[in-house]
Chains A and B, each alone.
Chain A
Amino acid sequence: MKRFALILLALVLVLSTAACGSGANTTDNSASTVASSSTPASETSTAAASGSTLPALTPDKPVTISAWLTSSFAAPAADNKITKLLKDKLGVTINYEIITPDNADQKTGVMLAGGEYPDLVGATDLNGRFITGKALIPLDDYLTADKADLLFEHVRPYWNRLATDAGDGAKHIYIFPNYNRYYGEITGGTNYGASGFWIQKALLADQNYPDLSNMTLEKYFKMIEDYKTKYPTIDGQPTIGYEILASTGREWGMTNPPEYLAGAPNNGGVIVDSNNVATIFANKDIAKRYFQFLNQMNAKGLIDRESFTQTYDQYLAKLATGRVLGMYDQRWDFGNANDALVSQKKDERTWVSTMPTYDGIAPYYADRDVMNINQGFGVSVSCKQPDVVVSFLNTMLSEEWQKILNWGIEGEDYSVGADGKFVRSDAQRQQQKDLVWRSSNLLEAFRDLAPKHQGSYSDGNAFSPDTQPSEFFATLSDYDKNFLTSYGKQTWRDFLNQPPENPVYYPCWNITLPDGSDAQMANTQMTDTALQFLPKAILAAPSDFENIWKQYTDAIAKVNTKAIEDVVNQGIQDRIANWGGSK
């Protein structure tokens, strides 16, 4: 009986804490909401009073910063050398909470509902949920020359682009962009990272390095067909002519090509005409032409029928076998497969980019890199030490730390040549590919979301090894050197068009479609409709194509595409009006 009473007591205690808990929390919530709006003001006044600089970070005053990141990168290992450096030199320890992008939606929802956030929030969702959810503090007060000077300089020329309205009518800066804010000379015109119709190098070599200018779909597929007929198997496995990327989250691999074929740059699902008016192109002739062509190619057996049923990692695995002759994709997306081939010493099976277009239209595949908006770090309203956190971010943007984050430690990860240029040995380059080494020597997750000093440093070195031209040439394999010479080109970039200046509003794919709006719903419906009909259309017998295409356009007609166009056009007008200036 006594034992039983104890158990009962325990239960009762649990239940009573529950009762008290729910009561107390509601008051907590409202308190924190009130406090958050006043925090920046009070902090600013403290800072102003103390001499208008941010707190210095020293090992004598250790601080712990909690960070929430949406990233595919894993947290650093416990023995990570940069973690140690942060602690020894700045006294900073970071507690990571990393959520993979696949699950970020659910986590974001409950975090917003819960109202408690870590100090640093690193988000990548285009919907700006943390901003509209009032989870981040406006950072304007810190962005002056005497406080967060480096961060200020980072955003100053682009202030109007980055300032967002959180729903209270005024525009503030909440998030620091994590990619493509360039300083100094933009180097690195060596690798090409974006869209193209990729084609295998061995194929081009075998056909005697044919001229790739004025490329058309017909020419592209003819090359593939010829090679496939000549070599029906590669390494004992059937050769695949063309692979289509359509896995979850990457449906753009299937739906984007028509805009490039029509000579338009990457604006997502719309094409913007010379009057700056955007329209959906999914149901237009330029799309029909592409998919009908694929349908005919499929009838010739050139398309991989498994394209639509495989997952992303199955797609990569297939590419890594070296038997895929061509695909439309963006270079960063298949990096994994490319490296697998290189490490198997199969450089000839990797790809270069071609730019097919319709009827002699000038290709506009390569664009100038656009700065990320609403992706990167922000400071949360729950942060009790925003001064420290901003100071930390500011310090991380210094050239000294940027070099540490992106090049590594001098002597261990790179050395300085006689001309002052950074250079790496073969061993140093190789170890970068090892997952295990990386978790102990790089701060990848943090780096992914942190603001970057892209371009070049004041000493002339490029931002990171990938953009240092000398590194590129030093790591070029013999096969690739030969290949480039045969084409009379120096770098992979040379295979693409020279990008013209981006239009002011570019790119449209990151115009926010607000949560709960008709535009957002229509966008998802468009993707779903494409997924439902396009694979069928491509794999069907050519005589069925018209029928299926009609079903597809009928289905699109039921979607409220006007809602999308309205929001995008509004966005374009806003950008044209507001994005001219800096602060």
Chain B
Amino acid sequence: MKIRINNKKLTTGDIAFNTFNYAFLIILSAAMLYPLLNTLAISFNDGMDTVRGGIYLWPRMFSTRNYYIVFHMDTIYSAFVVSVTKTIVIVITNLFFTSMLAYTISRKDYILRKTITVIFVLTMYFNAGLIPNYMLIRDLHMINTFTVYWLPNIISAFNLIVIRTYIKTIPESFIESAKIDGAREFRIFLQIILPLCIPTLATIALFVAVGSWNSWFDTFLYNSAKQNLSTLQYELQKLLASALNAGTRTQSGGGGANAAAQAGSSNVTTPQALRAAITVVAAVPILVVYPFLQRYFINGLAIGGVKE
């Protein structure tokens, strides 16, 4: 959908502005991009060499050692599968239930509309706390299960508002005519609303997928006992901690520790280099998926601006 109509001759002011604009955007992109490229370079650089400093955009001593260490950890393969499955389940359940609920609260005459909206919006602003939430999950027998990954998080109030607003842009006439034809609400939702909502659903899908992909705390808190339920981010976290402390032993603080018997244990890379490799491995899957959804973004988001 075009915003501007190109039928004007460009004035000098225009040219100046455009040049500035393009230049600024390029510099901005460079600032965004540099740290990422730097991380990529470090990940492909020999760990010991990185320590000397001076790596910017290109590895100086190319090495795949860091990646070798990451991929040798056989737990990340099943963790990857779990992460992918978890993300897919979360996305599907989220999209379906959030949009269904959003549809109901978009109906102006729905009597429970305001109550439901308030109850959901308020949930954005409180959290019961670590222990009460844990107790609930435990009472529901969801500790060490796959269910705990998706069931407690099906509806996010923010996404609800976004989808609700989008649904409000759908002309009433579509719905009215369907009602006249005798369609019930659920059918209207399934056959009319959902297909029309694809842009916004794609966007929300990406929001949700990124959140789910990056999360590790839920694994840590609820599922750390079951190796086969571990997720990619959590495994990478643990790898990083082990690399960092490889030269030390478990000891507690409080003013000093024991003399170690295990001196001299180290690894052939450094924590810094390993962290770079882990970053890349964790981020790449998402970066690969999102271009496919990208074209929906612009059209899919709407918050506010729609008359009641």
Contact = CB atoms under 8 A, between A and B. Distances in A.
A274 interface: no
A107 B223 CA distance: 11
A579 interface: no
Interface of B is mostly: loop
A113 B135 contact: yes
Contacts of B253: 249-252
Given A74-B242, A256-B256, A332-B248, A106 B261 contact: no
Contacts of B224: 97-99, 107
A463 B68 CA distance: 32
Given A126-B254, A336-B248, A110 B74 contact: no
B246 interface: yes
Nearest to A194: B259
B244 interface: yes
Interface string A279-313: 00000000000000000000000000000000011
B266 A433 contact: yes
B238 A343 contact: no
B74 A188 contact: no
B250 A448 contact: yes
Contacts of B202: none
A125 B134 CA distance: 22
B225 A66 contact: yes
A448 B143 contact: no
Interface residues of A, number: 104
B134 to A, nearest CB: 4
Interface residues of B, number: 65
B262 A466 contact: yes
Interface in B117-154: 130-131, 134-135, 138-141, 143, 151
B254 A72 contact: no
Interface stretch (A13-21, A197-205, A384-392): A13-21
B256 A335 contact: no
A126 B252 contact: yes
B73 interface: yes
A508 B256 CA distance: 10
A343 B241 contact: no
Interface string A182-199: 000000100111110000
Interface in A239-290: 249-252, 255-256, 266-269
Contact of B242 (A70, A73, A251, A375): A73
Contacts of B53: 237, 321
A249 B256 CA distance: 10
Interface stretch (A163-171, A434-442, A479-487): A434-442
A107 B220 contact: yes
A101 B252 CA distance: 9
Interface stretch (B12-20, B27-35, B267-275): B267-275
B75 interface: yes
Contacts of A452: 261
A34 to B, nearest CB: 19
B191 to A, nearest CB: 11
A370 interface: yes
A2 to B, nearest CB: 10
A284 B51 CA distance: 39
Nearest to B257: A330
A339 B266 contact: yes
Contact of B252 (A1, A124, A464): A124
Given A107-B220, A191-B263, A340 B51 contact: yes
A178 B70 CA distance: 30
Contact of A464 (B52, B74, B135, B261): B261
A503 interface: no
A571 interface: no
A126 B275 CA distance: 30
A433 B252 contact: no
A466 B263 contact: yes
A230 B143 CA distance: 62
Could you say which of B238, B253, B259 has the most chain A C-beta atoms within 10 Å of its C-beta? B259
A3 B53 CA distance: 61
A321 B51 contact: yes
A118 B225 contact: yes
A70 to B, nearest CB: 6
A72 B271 contact: no
Interface in A1-52: 1, 3-4, 14, 17-18, 21-22, 25
A77 B104 CA distance: 51
B73 A77 contact: yes
B139 A22 contact: yes
B164 to A, nearest CB: 20
Contact of A195 (B131, B187, B256): B256
Given A107-B224, A466-B262, A77 B74 contact: yes
A510 B250 CA distance: 15
B134 A369 contact: no
29 contacts: A1-B186, A3-B190, A25-B138, A75-B75, A79-B74, A100-B237, A100-B241, A110-B221, A114-B134, A114-B143, A116-B138, A126-B252, A179-B249, A179-B258, A193-B263, A195-B256, A235-B52, A249-B253, A256-B256, A321-B51, A331-B263, A332-B251, A338-B266, A343-B268, A369-B258, A449-B250, A464-B262, A466-B263, A523-B254
The 9 closest A-B pairs by CB, nearest first: A268-B255, A335-B247, A336-B247, A332-B260, A193-B259, A339-B266, A72-B245, A509-B255, A435-B267
Interface of A: 1, 3-4, 14, 17-18, 21-22, 25, 66, 68, 70-75, 77-79, 95-103, 106-107, 109-110, 113-114, 116, 118, 124-126, 179-180, 188, 191-195, 235, 237, 249-252, 255-256, 266-269, 312-314, 316-317, 320-321, 330-340, 343-344, 369-370, 372, 375, 432-436, 438-439, 448-449, 452, 454, 463-464, 466-467, 507-510, 523
Given A269-B255, A335-B264, 12 more contacts: A25-B138, A74-B238, A78-B74, A98-B224, A101-B252, A179-B249, A252-B253, A268-B255, A317-B271, A335-B260, A439-B73, A508-B255
